[in-house]
Structure 1
Amino acid sequence: MNTPPIVSPQEWETAHEQLLVKEKALTRARDALAAERRRMPWAAVEKAYVFDGPDGKASLLDLFEGRRQLIIYRAFFEPGVHGWPEHACIGCSLGADQVAHLAHLNARDTTLVFASRAPQPDIARLKARMGWEIPWYTITDSFDADFGVDEWHGHNAFIRDGDRVFRTYFINSRGDEAMGTAWSYLDMTALGRQEAWEDSPEGYPQSPPYKWWNWHDSYVPDAAPDPKWVEVSDAADAALQKRDG
């Protein structure tokens, strides 16, 4: 193994500062890309899709669970997929293991679900075995073919206006590698993180950063932020702005 040079702590700090310039540029570029996603045109979903869920038949609108946004990950768990019937696809399973607690997404009016062609009893068994709590539905029609996930995995983002549903974005292939955090999911949606620092079209919902965060068992809709957390987050924000200039 041809290792990098071994240097003093001071030399290491210098090298780190040099690379940090590029990392910050990458962060700004990622933010700019997310801003472009928020300005993508929307495609109306005209077909009435039907899924099987743990409580019976469900429409695409039902999958939103009353929230404004929906992300559907097409996971491969069905006959013909390696691992069936004990396991889902190895790659899709790795992705499922990375999913953050959904309460944080839900607090931003966004629902994440998985969808496969396996029957619900098999999905329930798989979730129990693997410890997954992600809502998981059975595809019963052409949804996967219509949204580019009949042969390979991918994330489709949707938004609703009342009962009308629109497709807003699509990420697949190596783009799926980055998914799993609340931030990666929100960054692919039409409304983004909904924080005041974001470059979003006029009228998009936005609130101060940090303030909406909470313990995953403590979110209450429309509740005021915890005063102590406001104090802590304000101090942290001021320190970061001072450090970064």
Structure 2
Amino acid sequence: MTMHNTAKRVEWLQARLRLLEAEKALTRQSDEVARMRQALPRLRIDKSYTFDTDQGSATLADLFQGRSQLLVYHFMFGPDWAAGCPSCSMIADGFDGFAVHLANHDVMLMAVSRAPLAKLQAYKKRMGWSFPWASALSNDFNFDFNVSFTEQQQRDGGIEYNYRRGGHEMDMQPVPPTVAAFAATCGTDAGSFTRDRPGMSAFLREDGVIYHTYSTYARGLDGLWGAYQWLDRAPKGRNESGIWWRRRDEYEAR
């Protein structure tokens, strides 16, 4: 942690104004990146996908629920796991609060995982969530959007994640202790755990045609991880030397 001197008010204000200029520059850069993101060319989706949802069988078009835009959070929850990923769970803790605002701004938020619907429903009940969550167990959706991989790909070193092959922590051998620990909390082994990964994909429906407009993975999800945005503004910052977070019902009472 950075050591700090105690300053007088005028010194603190001078330092804060210097930081304000840097924050303004970052905001302007973030705005420009957002414009670049929205200017990406579209990929037409002609492949059919069928999902299992609380309302029954649904197509990709059905997931829009009448909106023209769909944001999918690829939630790590493999078919044979006992629980969802703790990191994805921490991110998803914020979904219910803003999903209603998105839905009233022509944007549908949907989580998608490969776990069977019954597991998703049970886990959602445990966590106290109400946002929509679809199972992609019976289709190739997660594989096509590079968040799920086969054992063969894993054995052959053929996993391409975050637009590159290899180099991600989940591809390292031997398996890092943090990855093995997370896998254990999900009731699975490291091999199964690393075949499903987090991501977020955006889609547009226009004149009956669905387009894929954007996907992001790994650290690209940091901006969606609401708790970290608060920690970055706390006096000690993220202040972490390892895995410190838990599922919301696993913390000791304080």
Determine the structure 2 residue equivalent to 1:158.
203
Determine the structure 1 residue equivalent to 2:234.
none
User: Which segments of structure 1 move beyond 4 Å, counting only runs of 4 or more?
Assistant: none
Distance 1:143 1:13, change over 3 A: same
Stretches of structure 1 lacking an aligned partner (at least 5 in a row): 185-245
The answer to whether the Cα contact below 8 Å between 1:76 and 1:116 also exists between their aligned partners in 2 is yes
Determine the structure 2 residue equivalent to 1:133.
130
1:96 positional shift: 0.5
Determine the structure 2 residue equivalent to 1:14.
14
Q: Measure, in 2, the Cα distance between the counterparts of 1:43 and 1:70.
A: 14
Q: How does 1:103-182 map to 2 (within 5 A)?
A: 103-139=100-136, 140-150=138-148, 151-179=196-224
Determine the structure 1 residue equivalent to 2:72.
72
Report the count of equivalent residues. 178
**Percent identity for Structure 1 against Structure 2:** 37
Specify which of 84, 91, 98 is matched with residue 94 of structure 2. Answer: 98
Q: Measure, in 1, the Cα distance between the counterparts of 2:105 and 2:98.
A: 13
Q: Measure, in 2, the Cα distance between the counterparts of 1:36 and 1:134.
A: 29
Stretches of structure 2 lacking an aligned partner (at least 5 in a row): 149-195, 230-254
Q: Measure, in 1, the Cα distance between the counterparts of 2:61 and 2:98.
A: 22
1:78 positional shift: 2.7
Determine the structure 1 residue equivalent to 2:36.
36
The answer to whether the Cα contact below 8 Å between 1:72 and 1:115 also exists between their aligned partners in 2 is yes
Amino acid at match of 2:217: N
1:38 positional shift: 1.6
Determine the structure 2 residue equivalent to 1:204.
none
1:107 positional shift: 1.7
Q: CA RMSD in A?
A: 1.7
1:180 positional shift: 5.4
The answer to whether the Cα contact below 8 Å between 1:49 and 1:143 also exists between their aligned partners in 2 is yes
Amino acid at match of 1:65: Q
Which deviates more, 172-181 or 157-166?
A: 172-181
* Partner-residue secondary structure (3-state), 1:101: helix
The answer to whether the Cα contact below 8 Å between 1:95 and 1:177 also exists between their aligned partners in 2 is no
* Partner-residue secondary structure (3-state), 1:40: coil
- The CA deviation string for residues 15-69 of structure 1, in whole angstroms up to 9 with x for no partner, is 0000110100000000011111121100000100111111211000000001000
1:98 positional shift: 2.6
Q: How does 1:53-64 map to 2 (within 5 A)?
A: 53-64=53-64
Q: Measure, in 1, the Cα distance between the counterparts of 2:103 and 2:120.
A: 22
- The CA deviation string for residues 81-131 of structure 1, in whole angstroms up to 9 with x for no partner, is xxx32x211111111113232111112100010011111121111111101
